[in-house]
Each structure stands twice: as C-alpha cells, then as structure tokens.
Amino acid sequence: GENVEQHPSTLSVQEGDSAVIKCTYSDSASNYFPWYKQELGKRPQLIIDIRSNVGEKKDQRIAVTLNKTAKHFSLHITETQPEDSAVYFCAAQAAGNKLTFGGGTRVLVKP
C-alpha cells in the first residue's frame, strides 16, 4: 500500500519568514495530493491540493509543488503569520482509493 513520509515533524519560524514542508510517497499510481491544516482542537481542513498532471499550484501565500519522478511534493507558506500556526498534514491518493496521510508537521510562527 501507499506510504507517505512527512518532514519536518516540527517547524518554528519567525513571523514574515517562509515555511516549507516536504512529503514523499511510495505508490506511483497516486495522482492526487491534498494538504490539510488542523488547528488545535479542530478538524482537519483542506487548504490546497494538486493533481499529478500539474507541477505547481499557488493560492495567495501558499503553494504546492509536485515532482512525480522523485515522488515528492512540498508545501510552501510565504510571509507567515501567527494564524498559520497549526499542524499540517500532507496526503496521497490513488484513483478511487483512500487518502494516506503523512505524520504531520507542527508549525509555530513566532511574532
């Protein structure tokens, strides 16, 4: 089955700096890669996703990149703000299958 590895497990950045989270996956059949943000005590919320037919997608201060050959994808947050503090999960999905999640990255943005 699919295996998703996520790094780092914790990330502390100064407000205004960038944050980068990296994930690798094992199943070459995976073709959909969402990212979820989970604030303390709340449910995971989809923040951005990318499909295997594109290499990069951007939405305001967040962007995702995908390297299918290397089987890795990354989340980039620019101009970080305190409200970006949360746990972020990457995931991978093959068509018609379940999402397999990475272990999560706890991001702390220091004012």
Partner 1 sequence: GAGVSQSPSNKVTEKGKDVELRCDPISGHTALYWYRQSLGQGLEFLIYFQGNSAPDKSGLPSDRFSAERTGGSVSTLTIQRTQQEDSAVYLCAIMDRGYGYTFGSGTRLTVV
- Contact by Cβ (8 Å): 32, 57: no
The single residue among 12, 15, 18, 51 that binds partner 1, judged by CB under 8 A, is 51
Whole-number minimum distance, CB 16 to partner 1, in Å?
27
Q: How many chain residues interact with partner 1 (CB under 8 A)?
A: 20
Minimal CA–CA distance to 45: which of 83, 9, 5? 83
Burial letters 52-71, b for 16+ CB under 10 A, else e: beeeeeeeeebbbbbeeeeb
Name 63's Cβ contacts closer than 8 Å, sequence gap at least 6: 48, 56, 57, 75, 76, 78
Q: Which amino acid is at 7?
A: H
Site for partner 1 in 60-99 (CB under 8 A): 89, 93, 96, 98-99
Q: Which is nearer to partner 1, 46 or 79 (CB)?
A: 46
Whole-number minimum distance, CB 97 to partner 1, in Å?
8
Q: Which is nearer to partner 1, 16 or 98 (CB)?
A: 98
Site for partner 1 in 31-50 (CB under 8 A): 32, 34, 42-46, 49
**Residues contributing to the site for partner 1 (CB under 8 A):** 1, 32, 34, 42-46, 49, 51, 89, 93, 96, 98-104
